[in-house]
Amino acid sequence: MPEISYRRHRFPPTIIQHAVWLYLRFTLSYRDVEELLAERGLDISYETVRCWVLKFGPVIARRLRRRRPRPSNRWHPTRVRRERTTSNGSAELHRR
């Protein structure tokens, strides 16, 4: 996969990646991302966020999907039932 080039952009790559990640991960609007970045002291317009998402979004989304754990055939129950033997030798179910 080609490396992302952030040359000729005013903001550092970490800011651009964070803005695109916010938009993709939490399904926010461009204006919501603009407000979140403004709370951190960054003056970035929603149009800039839109341009970043269109330019860098597909590559960043692909990388995020690749890092996601693969589904498996194993089922992990939330509660485990075990048999516990009592002092007289009989078994009883014990919930953990």
CA distance 23 to 61: 10
Q: pTM for the full model? A: 0.67
4-35 CB burial, b ≥16 within 10 A, e <16:
eebeeeeeeeebbbbbbbbbbeeebebeebbe
Each of the 96 residues of the chain gets a pLDDT tens digit; together they read 567 888 888 999 999 999 999 999 898 999 999 999 999 999 999 999 999 999 999 998 888 888 888 887 877 666 655 556 666 666 555 555
- Going from N- to C-terminal start, the domains of the chain cover 13-67
CA distance 60 to 63: 5
DSSP state of 85: E
